[in-house]
Amino acid sequence: MGIDPTLLEQRLDELYTIGADPGGGAYRPLYSSAWATAIERVERWLTEAGLETHRDAVGNLWGRAAGNGKSIVTGSHIDTVRHGGRLDGALGIVAGLTAVEALLKAKGTPKRPLEVVAICEEEGSRFRTNFWGSRAITGSIDSVDPEIAAAMRERGLDPTKVANAAREDIDTFVELHIEQGAVLESSGTPLAIVSAIVGTAHLELTVTGRADHAGTTPMESRRDALTGAAAMIQAVESIARSLGKPAVATVGKVRAEPDQINVVPGRVIFTIDVRHSDLGARRALEERIRSLCATIASERGLGLDIRMLQERPPVPMHSDVRAVLTRAAKDCGVQAVEMVSGAGHDAQILAARCKVGMLFVPSIGGRSHCPEEATKREHVELGTKVLAKALELLAY
């Protein structure tokens, strides 16, 4: 069973032109016209591959080869971040449909239903939501924000029917994705089998001091919220460093008020993204950060309020799927490593309803979510071959 590397690259190129962002890269936000065009393109490829397609209640696109029992599903998300790259999400869809197309050609009808899915949204780059598509599949969307509902109606989707997207008949979901980091590249490894997806906590800290005139307030009379926040940002970095891998903690957003050149900041709001593959370790990391920030605030006479914006536990990949992926890699003559995913993926949501597994191929320079996002041609081909082998082991 052959995978055509040229076809893979052509399809990736074609998808990348849809939603070209004037500032570089592609931008295909949920329910946008670029998003709709990309869905149509994938639908055509699925049909050409001999799959029966349908769109569910939130706009996830499915292509199905009939079989008995619960489905084996592969795919990824079709949306992108702003200035997104060529592979994040797109690779999992293109590799999935190209692998299934090759399997159908070489092996005929599968024993089990074999499906490819283009998940409508994962990135959270348009609305205040993420994992929108996979949460619909698991039936875990309770209500639809009015802004999203309006965008759904524009695409002919009925926001009151979201529950219809739920699936109970998936056995296994397996996804090929780029690593989005530089671990594989720097160790010279062409493929990884994901052992778990890290747990993430998103915190928002509000530091309250007193806004004062920058010229008339002596240094020792100040309650400067920004110098306090700067001490906390330093602490976040040093705590994560001292704990060592795979602990990471990041301050990504910061805003000072009143944000004037000649006024001592009276209030600073910043976020912390805390991750670890072990729930206890993630909580301990978060606890040390909370405690040190509270000490800094108290020493400086500042107020501190910490709000949890989002908390997701670590999700282990299913041992059965890991075993299949390991065997598939071996069958393809590849020595794969196991690694923890520092990024979130739809698999962590779908794990609530089915067995899940993931494959990573290296990202050049570790770059992702940017136009420089790239993976060597031979790694794209290799990942797709191992994916196809795993689907064969699971569905035939």
Question: Which stretches within 108-224 are classed as H helix?
Answer: 132-137, 146-154, 183-187
Residue 221 within binding range of a second copy, rule CB under 8 A: yes
Query: Contact region for a second copy (CB under 8 A) — 5-13, 66-74, 103-111, 254-262?
Result: 254-262
Q: Can you read off the two tokens belonging to residue 134? A: 């996979």
Residue 183 within binding range of a second copy, rule CB under 8 A: yes
Residue 267 within binding range of a second copy, rule CB under 8 A: no
CA distance linking residue 168 with residue 26, whole number of Å: 33
User: Residue 196 forms beta bridges with which residues?
Assistant: 316, 340
Least distance (Å) between residue 333 CB and a second copy: 27
Residues 6+ apart with CB under 8 A from 22: none
Asked whether the beta carbons of 274 and 292 are under 8 A apart, the reply is no
CA neighbor of 60 nearest in space, from 343, 349, 317, 312: 349
CA neighbor of 361 nearest in space, from 193, 174, 196, 190: 190
* CB-nearer residue toward a second copy: 115 or 179: 179
Asked whether the beta carbons of 249 and 273 are under 8 A apart, the reply is yes
CA neighbor of 340 nearest in space, from 248, 249, 246: 246
* CB-nearer residue toward a second copy: 36 or 263: 263
* CB-nearer residue toward a second copy: 160 or 260: 260
Query: Contact region for a second copy (CB under 8 A) — 27-35, 134-142, 206-214, 381-389?
Result: 206-214
Q: The tokens 């992926």 sit on which residue?
A: 325
Q: What DSSP assignment string belongs to 61-84?
A: EEEEE--SSSEEEEEEE----TTB
Taking CA atoms, 327 is separated from 106, 263, 356, 376, 393, in Å, by 20, 63, 16, 23, 9
Query: Contact region for a second copy (CB under 8 A) — 54-62, 96-104, 151-159, 367-375?
Result: 367-375
Residue 128 within binding range of a second copy, rule CB under 8 A: no
* CB-nearer residue toward a second copy: 97 or 358: 358
Least distance (Å) between residue 121 CB and a second copy: 15
Taking CA atoms, 298 is separated from 289, 290, 302, 385, in Å, by 14, 12, 6, 57
Least distance (Å) between residue 134 CB and a second copy: 17
Residue 264 within binding range of a second copy, rule CB under 8 A: yes
Question: Which stretches within 244-278 are classed as H helix?
Answer: none
Least distance (Å) between residue 149 CB and a second copy: 24
What amino acid is encoded at 148 in this protein?
Answer: I
Taking CA atoms, 175 is separated from 75, 77, 132, 197, 366, in Å, by 6, 10, 17, 13, 19
Residue 179 within binding range of a second copy, rule CB under 8 A: yes
* Total residues interacting with a second copy, rule: CB under 8 A: 63
Residue 33 within binding range of a second copy, rule CB under 8 A: no
Query: Contact region for a second copy (CB under 8 A) — 161-169, 235-243, 287-295, 351-359?
Result: 235-243
Least distance (Å) between residue 263 CB and a second copy: 5
Least distance (Å) between residue 239 CB and a second copy: 10
Residue 364 within binding range of a second copy, rule CB under 8 A: no
Binding a second copy by CB under 8 A: which of 59, 246, 357, 362? 246
Binding a second copy by CB under 8 A: which of 343, 347, 354, 394? 343
Residues in touch with a second copy (CB under 8 A): 179-183, 198, 200, 202, 211-221, 224, 226-227, 229-231, 233-234, 236-237, 240-241, 245-256, 259-265, 271, 273, 275, 309, 341-344, 366-370
